[in-house]
Each structure stands twice: as C-alpha cells, then as structure tokens.
Amino acid sequence: MAVNKGDYFDELETMAPGTRQKYLDNKLSLTVEHAYKHAPAVKKLFDGCGVSPGEIRTVSDLEKVPITRKTDLIEMQKSDLPYGGILTIPPENVERVFISPGPVYEIQSPEIKWFSKSFWAAGFRKGDIVINTFTYHMSPAGILFHEGIRDCGATVVVAGTGNTDLQVQIMKDLKVTGFVGTPSFLMTVIKTAEEQGYNFRNDFAVKKSWFTGEPLSPTIRQTLENDYGISTSQAYAVTEPGGAIAYECEEKSGMHFMDDYVIEIVDPETGKQLGPGEIGEVVVTPVHSPEWGLIRFGTGDLSSYTTETCPCGRTSHRITGIVGRTTDAVKVRGMFIVARQAEQVVKGFDQVSRFQFTVGREAQRDKLVLNLTLTKDVQDRESLQNEISSRFQSTCRVKIDGFRFVEKDAIPEDAKTIVDERDWT
C-alpha cells in the first residue's frame, strides 16, 4: 500500500464513508470464509449456531454469530493447546507469540502496522526521541509500540517498566521528546524529577505523550497540557484480537476506529448491534490478520460511538471513551447505566455526601431512584433534583424517576453505586 505520510499515515484513514463500508464488508467476508476453512474453532462456532460463512457478507450480518469472550478463549485454549483452534496457518509459520493474563496465547505477524497510525496521529515524527515505558516481556505492548514508533521515523528508547529514578535520568540525558506509557507513570516521573529539584517544563524536552492501558482523566490531561506543555494522545488497545482498536487524532474528541477492525457496540446480553450514542459492549473482529480466526471478540468494555464527521478529516467512526466494564453496568429501560459514569455525575454536587441508585419495577416499568444524603440542609431541594436529573440524563441517557432523601446511616460508606432490586421471577 502506498503510504503518504502527510497529515495521515495512509489513505485508509480518509476513505469516503461508502468506500469504507464496502472495504470492511469485503474484508470481513473474506476473513470469515478463510477462518471457517482453516480454523477448527471457527468452524465449530459457525456450525454450532447454524450459520454458514457465506451468510456473513456485511458488518450487520455479524449479529448472527455468538460473541467469544476472554473466558471462552481461555477454555478453548486449555482444551486445545496452544491456540484453541483459531490459528489458520501451520504453527511453524508463527513468528511471535505473546502471553496475556489467563494465560491466553496470541500470535502476531510483524508486517501489520498495528499502532503506527496512532503514533502518527499523536504527532510522533523523525527527529523525536521517544521513551517506551511499556514492558517488553510476554505482553505485546513493548515491541508493538516500539515498531509503531519506528514506523513514524522516531527513535525509540527501550526503557520498559519501573526504575523511575533511572527513567528520569535517561529522559534528561537523552533529551527525550516523547513519552509512551500510562498517564499515571508520566505523572510519577514528573513528580520524581521535581523532587530531585528539576523544573520539568524547563529542564526536560518532553513535548508529546501517548497513553494506553488506563483512562486519561480530563484533570491529568489538563495538567500535562497546560502546566507542563506536553501534548497528550491516547489509544484503546485490546491484546486478544490484536492490538490497537481505536486512537485519538489531534481533535482529542473520541477515538477513531482503526481501519482494519470491524468494531461493533452491542447489547452484551443479546449481541445485537446498537446505534450511535447507545452504551454497549465493544466487540472486535480483526480483518487484517488472516492467520488469526477470532470472530466477534467481546472485550467486556463499555462504550458508545459517534458517526459525526471529525474535523481532522479521518472518516472512521469514533468511540467516545471507555466508560466501564459490562460487569459494572445495570440495564434500565433498555439502556446501560455504568456505575462510574453515574458516580461522576453525582460527585459533581458537593451538597451530596452519600448516594446510591436503586433500580426497581413498577407497573411493568423499570424505576430508577437516587437515594441521597446531603452534607447540609439544602433549602431548595427541587432545584438540586432538577440539576442532578438534567446532568444525569445528558451523561447516562436515562431519566431518574425519583429522589429519596435519607439519613446518613441509611447508605453505608462503601455502598454499591447501583443496586438492582428487580425480581424477575
């Protein structure tokens, strides 16, 4: 593929929407056909649900296929070592094996530019000296990021994890311009440098950063950008289906779907695809990697997506950030409420000291109630309710049906954020 390294890493990033849909549909149907033919586990999966590979012609056809989750993959590999029947090539042709917790064994062919686009979009270029603080052991992180940084022409400092003092010295000595790691590790590095008497902004050359592995909080982002003059960028990566799923552009407003993955946001209970703005599980099918027959991998992460045009010119849809795990979510009137999101809303009100949501049923309808303990006597409870309601609805897209003001002891300090009291029997 011709690589035009201007604003974009390659031409796939700016495919017209119709072309993109055709591109994905075509790659998906080839991937499914190939996997069915060469991966015994995929044949078993399709035969088991009575779907023939020929029925999967478009992304929306994928709904017919059950989701494979990490726990399934662990069991599949345990009973059919080492790859669980999803390898489609002779094992002697495997160049690399990575190990994820489980353990889960994954393979990768180095030709695939998994992370390059993401680093390019983060502004990494020739002349940059980039410290890679992800581990090079077992997990794919270290070596894959390393290659992605190299694809952008930058120099990589092979640092790996830990040794904060030494990392500070390396960054100073080598005049490192780019940081790759977790946001919390960069904050630790900065703090350590400051404890050693440095002024990080003036004494160090770090101007760009790229994160994955943990969410970048808006507060840390602001601190890094405003106080330290470091541009920030993040990517969403999942190892089992092979790497970078989505990445931020300079707009920093959601993460673009990586071109060679079919990404669905689905109802985790039914596997049905959801529309823009609806929160559901991120399900991934890599279509770049014919040797790895992983169809519909359920990540367990909850997100939503937007189809709005991005001013950067990239045309893929964007996920709007990972809001939680499927295990932390409760479905209310068909919409998932994620504990973390709900907490963020209510914690924004300092009149509230403790709170808990309860979900019940009344007249065949889910009823969401917010129980509150107030820090002080609030005169105008109604306007407090209205304000919480409106912020909650715009964040979680579900309406709170009622408020209950309770004594402090009624809600324990370590109370669960959302309690499901519905009885379906």
The contact set with Zn ion (CB under 5 A) reads 249, 251, 310, 312, 314
The CA–CA distances, whole Å, from 19 to 15, 24, 296 equal 6, 9, 22
Alpha carbons 182 and 201: distance in angstroms, whole number: 19
Residue (249 or 294) nearer to Zn ion, CB: 249
CB of 10 to Zn ion, least distance (A): 15
CB of 247 to Zn ion, least distance (A): 9
Which tokens go with 89? 């090539």
Cβ atoms of residues 317 and 303 within 8 Å: no
CB of 210 to Zn ion, least distance (A): 16
Helix residue ranges, H only, 199-266? 200-203, 218-222
Which tokens go with 340? 């973390």
Residue (146 or 314) nearer to Zn ion, CB: 314
Residue (20 or 146) nearer to Zn ion, CB: 20
The phi and psi torsions of 186 (rounded to 5 degrees) equal -65, -40
Residue (249 or 396) nearer to Zn ion, CB: 249
CB of 8 to Zn ion, least distance (A): 10
Residue (27 or 318) nearer to Zn ion, CB: 318
- DSSP H or E run through 110: none
Alpha carbons 200 and 205: distance in angstroms, whole number: 8
Residue (47 or 308) nearer to Zn ion, CB: 308
Cβ atoms of residues 205 and 173 within 8 Å: no
Which tokens go with 393? 């609805």
Alpha carbons 31 and 292: distance in angstroms, whole number: 9
Which tokens go with 129? 């000296």
Query: For helices 339-347 and 381-396, what crossing angle results, to 10°?
Result: 140
CB of 13 to Zn ion, least distance (A): 9
CB of 308 to Zn ion, least distance (A): 10
Alpha carbons 159 and 145: distance in angstroms, whole number: 12
CB of 256 to Zn ion, least distance (A): 6
Residue (312 or 396) nearer to Zn ion, CB: 312
